[in-house]
Amino acid sequence: MLTAVLILAILALVFGLLLGYAAIRFKVEGDPVADKIDAILPQTQCGQCGFAGCRPYAEAIAKGEADINQCPPGGEAVILSLADLLGKDPKPLNAEHGEAKDIKTVVVIDEQQCIGCTLCIQACPVDAIIGAAKLMHTVIKAECTGCNLCIPPCPVDCIHIVPVGTTLQSWKWPSPEKTVAATEAVTP
Residues 105 and 81 in one domain: no
In a domain, 3, yes or no: no
> 135-181: per-residue pLDDT in tens?
888 999 888 878 888 999 999 999 998 988 777 766 777 767 655 55
In a domain, 124, yes or no: yes
Q: Provide the domain count of the chain.
A: 2
Residues 49 and 110 in one domain: no
Residues 105 and 165 in one domain: yes
Domain harbouring 112, CATH code: 3.30.70.20
Domain harbouring 37, CATH code: 1.10.15.40
The sign of the torsion formed by the CA atoms of 31, 36, 40, 42 equals positive
Whole-number Cα distances in Å, 66 to 41, 60, 71, 78: 14, 5, 11, 14
Residues 166 and 113 in one domain: yes
Residues 90 and 108 in one domain: no
> What average pLDDT score do residues 66-95 get?
88
Confidence at residue 178, expressed as pLDDT on a 0 to 100 scale: 58
What's the pTM value of the predicted model, to 2 decimals?
0.59
Of the candidates 149, 119, 152, the one whose C-alpha atom is nearest the C-alpha of residue 137 is 119
**150 against 75, higher pLDDT:** 150
Q: What range does the domain containing 167 cover?
A: 101-171
In a domain, 187, yes or no: no
Residues 89 and 108 in one domain: no
Of the candidates 86, 90, 123, 89, the one whose C-alpha atom is nearest the C-alpha of residue 107 is 123
**42 against 169, higher pLDDT:** 42
Residue 94 to residue 69: CA distance in whole angstroms:
6
In a domain, 151, yes or no: yes
